[in-house]
Structure 1
Amino acid sequence: MTVVASEPSGSQPEVRAAAGAVRGSREAGVAVFRGIPFAEPPVGSLRFAAPRPMRGWDGVRAAVSYGPPPPQGGHFGMDALAQDAEGDDWLTVNVWSPDPGSGAGLPVMVWIQGGAYTIGMSGLPEYDGGCLARDGGVVVVTFNYRVGLEGFGQVEGAPANRGLLDQVAALEWVRDNIRAFGGDPDRVTVFGQSAGAGSVATLLAMERAAGLFRRAVAQSVPGTFFSPELAADIATSCAAELGLRPTVADLSTVAPARLSAAGDSVGAKMAEWTDRWGQVAHRSIPFSPVVDGDALLVTPWRALADGAGRDVELLVGHTRDEQRLFTAIEGLLGQVTQEQAATALQVFGPGGQDGVRRYLDGFPDAGPEELYELVHSDWLFRMPSLHLAQAQADAGGRAHLYELTWSAPGMGGAFGACHGLDVPLVFGNLDRGQPAVLIGEEPSREAAALATRMRAAWTAFADHGDPGWPAYDTEQRLVQLFDTRPAVTPYPEETSRRIWQDHTFPVLPLIGP
């Protein structure tokens, strides 16, 4: 493969990669290429199939606009954004490079966005990689992958985890093409948040992803991994919304927007299925990676404990108040009752009634809302993230752990250090996109300084594997706290750690008849 780059008239950077030439733009000193296909559109005969390599094209392809996002659930108006976009090139990459085509061999950071495996698109303004590439001297890559039923529904006749297979295909594109954009294919770091962090953890466990990245950053790892039986039962309910079966033959005839709407409909009434679907029904989580025995053999915690990621350096962490964002979205700030707290402790605490007792004993002064938020935060994000670092360290691998404890100033500080606050800080996009509501209309010097520190840590880790604080071990348990005054301390959530120390985050089963 020949890869070259040039700067034609008008300062429009041009790169020739495997499938053909692309012409991007130059923005604030960074070369930007948007909407480059890394796989054939997964429509028609390819719908619900594993991604197929993109065929080449003649001439020079314009790469100045994001590709259309994949079909989306309706949360935060994402479905409207997807439906308004033209075309079916759902699987595209975007590249920001300080120095394309020069053979610079820069570190590469490949972002996987979150969205509960149900929504998510790389074209959101908060994921613009310009600041990160320019300030950090790295090549930044973002991409789309299939979500919802298209990407994670258990469809008969189709491979499971199609969204994850899309991610592997995007990383293969990076391996084969990124040198043309100034990046080093041997210094690739994957980083992601929420479902993106769950994807990063899953890629660590997937044999077919081995060798595609050298380092990994997982920000707020969700602990939900489905059994095939649970995933199939949820998909059956989604298909039933349309009077169909969860098969390729039936669902491939359905318009993508209708299929996404069916997934939303089931997600909205999952509370009716708690006796069958268990914890995920209480949280309305209809999609997650499936431990299918093919693409994914075991959960990430099991895989890392067995040494799967020993050769990959890991940076992992969470925010202090993960649940606060969801409490606000649900309209429960200041409204959580004793009964709601008791139910949350019973459902999500480890060991049922024993978990309830541990929380009550461990946090004797906590009121209903604090207990409610603690157990939700621990179950879904905080303890899965901690246990990923512990599994890596126990297997002899290297892991660095952090916690974001800085409280978001937006809405009078009501959000605390909530889920998602790390995203604008890492990207440096403090005044754009949905997370901007957390930072406030006028980002403070304090916010800008914290963003600079986090961005420097992430890019240093991508460059040479050291974010600036000691690796985590199970004796000292040192953690970097990101706040107005950063500090390295023993892991601060010690009570929660002890409550969850024997939990294994198993595959979630179908529990009803």
Structure 2
Amino acid sequence: MSLDREIRTVAGTIRGTRHGAVTAFRGIPYAQPPVDGLRFRAPVPAPPWNEVRDASAFGPPVPQQASPPDASDDWLTLNVWSPDIGATGLPVMVWIHGGAYLFGSSANPSQDGATLAAAGAVVVTLNYRMGVEGFAHLAGAPDNRGILDQILALHWVRENVAAFGGDPGNVTVFGQSAGAGSVAALLAMPAAAGLFRRAIAQSLPGTFFTTRLAAAVSAAIASSVGVESTAAALARIPVSELVRVTQAVVHSLPRRARTWGPMATARTPFSPVVDGDTLPRAPWTALAEGAGRGVDLLVGHTRDESPRDEEITDARATATLDALIRGGDAAYRAAYPDAGPTRLHELVSSDWLVRMPSLRLADAQNTGGGRAWTYELCWGPGPDGAAHGLDGRLVFGTIDVAALRTAFGATVADEAAHLSEVMRADWLRFAATGDPGWPRYEPSTRSARVYDTVPTVRPYPEEASRRIWAEHRFGTLDLPGANAI
């Protein structure tokens, strides 16, 4: 049974629906549609409304591959789940979805906030601009527009979340994959300072671009539609056409390694741009200099971050190993003597893109005087193991336990249900108190929460890879031969 509930926000009254213990408000606009004169600009707050606004349905997705052709352009919306509208001081958790900075939506059922909210937090999820609209480096436009959208959404949370029972002074931003990259960028962006108290980065990608590399990507996309890579020129091109040509560039990435460097292995042509303005420094540098000192940080990853979708030849494994880390072929073969070429390729891909950037973010936070905790998910059903994104479904409680029982049996299903409860409790404890319940990360001990059949706390599990990457400096990716910042 559902009951309508009304809340007064700064912009106007919204009507949501109560389902059991949780009231949900969906599709709330936090910014004006970024089209026409607002296209490629920083987001502008949504105008107020007079009538009660229905908030029972999610807003339309930001344009991406397979978007509905007739979707509304009111993309920049957010959703709120509250366990108790009459409460005060509940912790607030703001989720930023992943999707390679190219795709995703806050309407994704695997990121439904009801279960997490029912456990004791006000949960907010949001849409933000992606692809060319949100991340292309264009003359005449601010960089990182998608993350500027997130910052405006955080301002909305600060102004309105108390009406939903939340504490605007106790906000945790959390995200996975590109969402974790966004969280790391927010930690380093002056415009986001003070908008959140805690941050959780789940599977942080180590891809942050210099303006040179980002400009090369934008030029390739713009040339494919016959214009220069400026905001004024691309504003004349339909959004759907830019989505189409971006997919062509995605498919061409393996052929661009010589001109664009290691980023061509990342399966996306977009990442946050270290422009010296909206994002002055890469997160590892910024945190080491103290940018995150006032924010508690939980950062980690899954064990099997790289997809197991093809067999890799020995020659290709060697090429990838040496391309991603100096001396990588010799180092990985010595550290993992029993691994074949496919496994070696998976290891170095996982380490370069996610695992080592995540660990080194904890190092940087510690160096800068901030508090950090780390984790690794080692449990996973089936051949994909502890796959990329599995931790998010466990935290949200949206993993399909019934399907696991059918596919893998009762034991695996029970393990999933238990881990989901444990991880959700840890995330909520961190959001409420700033301490997830295990020792802080320090370089001397490297304590980590390891989520396996039986969750434990022990030294970071990927020590062999950590040693290989110990001297590597994560920062910005640049064009080959250029000097990265």
- Tell me the TM-score normalized by structure 1: 0.91
Note if 1:372 corresponds to 2:341: no
Q: 2:20 maps to what in 1?
A: 28
In the alignment, structure 1 residue 91 sits paired with structure 2 residue 60: no
Q: Distance in 1 between matches of 2:305 and 2:117?
A: 27
Note if contact 1:276-1:512 (Cα within 8 Å) is conserved in structure 2.
no
List per-residue Cα deviations over 1:114-148 (Å, max 9, x = no partner): 011111110111111000000x2100000000000
Task: Report the equivalent of 1:180.
Answer: 163
Structure 2 letter corresponding to 1:229? R
CA distance in 2, matches of 1:357, 1:414: 27
Take 2:59 and 2:267, find their aligned partners in 1: how far apart are those partners? 29
> Residues of 1 paired with 2:370 and 2:112: CA distance?
32
2:88 alignment partner in structure 1? 104
Q: Please state if 1:501 is matched with 2:485.
A: no
Task: Provide the C-alpha distance between the structure 2 equivalents of 1:150 and 1:437, rounded to a whole number of angstroms.
Answer: 38
SS at match of 1:269: helix
| 1:128 equivalent in structure 2 | 112
Out of 306, 309, 312, the residue aligned to residue 336 of structure 1 is: 312
Q: By how many angstroms is 1:502 displaced?
A: 1.4
Classify the secondary structure of the residue corresponding to 1:237: helix
| Structure-2 change in CA distance of 1:476 and 1:51 (3 Å) | same
Does residue 402 of structure 1 match 2:385?
no
Secondary structure of 2:366's partner? helix
Distance 1:377 1:18 in 2: 44
- CA contact 1:189–1:462 (8 Å) conserved in 2: yes
Q: Work out the CA distance in 1 between the residues paired with 2:295 and 2:428.
A: 16
> Any unmatched runs of 5+ in structure 1?
1-8, 73-78
Letter in 2 for 1:46: L
RMSD: 1.8
Are the equivalent residues in 2 in contact too, given 1:189–1:214 (CA < 8 A)? yes
| Matching residue's letter, 1:123 | A
Contact 1:20/1:59 (<8 A) preserved: yes
Which residue of the partner structure matches residue 292 of structure 2?
309
Deviations 1:288-317, CA, capped at 9 Å, x for gaps: 000011100110000000010011001110
- The 3 A distance-change label for structure 1 pair 440 and 107 is farther
Aligned to 1:383: 356
Deviations 1:59-110 (A, max 9, x none): 10000111111111xxxxxx22x3256311110010000111x242100000
Instruction: Provide the identity percentage.
Output: 54
Distance 2:210 2:479 in 1: 7
Q: Distance in 2 between matches of 1:339 and 1:127?
A: 39
Q: Tell me if structure 2 keeps the 8 A contact 1:336–1:368.
A: yes
State the Cα deviation string for residues 229-274 of structure 1 (Å, max 9, x = none): 1111111111111112111222112221111111111111122222
Q: What is the alpha-carbon distance in structure 1 between the residues aligned to residue 235 and residue 18 of structure 2? A: 40
| SS, match of residue 183 in structure 2 | helix
The alpha-carbon distance between structure 1 residues 99 and 440, as it changes in their structure 2 partners (threshold 3 A), is farther
Structure 1 runs of 4+ with >3 Å offset:
436-443
CA 1:71–1:464 in 2, change beyond 3 Å: closer, same or farther?
same
Query: Which residue identity lines up with residue 361 of structure 2 in the other structure?
Result: L
Indicate conservation of the 8 Å contact 2:81/2:124, yes or no.
Answer: yes
Matched residue, 2:219: 236
- Is the 1:122–1:144 Cα contact (8 Å) retained in structure 2? yes
Q: Does structure 1 residue 66 correspond to structure 2 residue 35? A: no
CA 300–489 in structure 1, closer or farther in 2 if over 3 Å, else same: same
Q: CA deviation at 1:428?
A: 0.1
Structure 1 residues 26, 337: closer, same or farther in 2, change over 3 A? same
Contact 2:321 2:328 in 1 (8 A): yes
**Structure 2 equivalent of residue 266 of structure 1:** 249
Paired residue type of 2:104: G
For residues 416-468 of structure 1, give each alpha carbon's deviation from its aligned partner in whole angstroms, at most 9, with x where no partner exists: 11111111101000129xxx889959871111011000000001100111111
Q: What residue in structure 1 maps to residue 179 of structure 2?
A: 196
Q: Is the 8 A contact 2:2 2:17 kept in 1?
A: no
Q: Secondary structure at the match of 2:3?
A: coil
Deviation at 1:28, TM superposition (A): 2.5
Deviations 1:21-61 (A, max 9, x none): 00001122211000000010000100111000111000100
Which residue, out of 258, 262, 268, partners 1:279? Answer: 262
**Matched position secondary structure for 2:149:** helix
Counterpart secondary structure, 1:341: helix
When residues 264 and 49 of structure 1 are mapped into structure 2, their CA distance, relative to the original with a 3 A threshold, is same
Look up the match of 1:138. 121
Q: Which residue of 2 aligns with 1:455?
A: 424
Q: Please state if 1:57 is matched with 2:40.
A: no
Q: Which residue of 2 aligns with 1:345?
A: 321
Change (3 A) 1:461 1:149: same
> Tell me, which stretches of 5 or more residues in structure 2 are unaligned?
none
CA contact (8 A) 1:399 1:472 kept: yes
Distance of aligned partners of 1:449 and 1:85 in 2 relative to their CA distance in 1, 3 Å threshold: farther
| Equivalent residue in structure 2 for 1:479, among 445, 448, 463 | 448
SS for the counterpart of 2:209 is: coil
Structure 1 residues 192-237: Cα deviation after superposition (integer angstroms, max 9, x where no partner): 0000001101100011100000000000000001111111111111
Equivalent pairs counted in the alignment come to: 479
User: 1:356 maps to what in 2?
Assistant: 329
Question: Residue 457 of structure 2 is aligned with which of 470, 485, 488?
Answer: 488
Q: Is the 8 A contact 2:404 2:413 kept in 1?
A: no
Counterpart of 1:401 in structure 2: which amino acid?
A: T
Q: For 2:82, give the aligned amino acid.
A: S
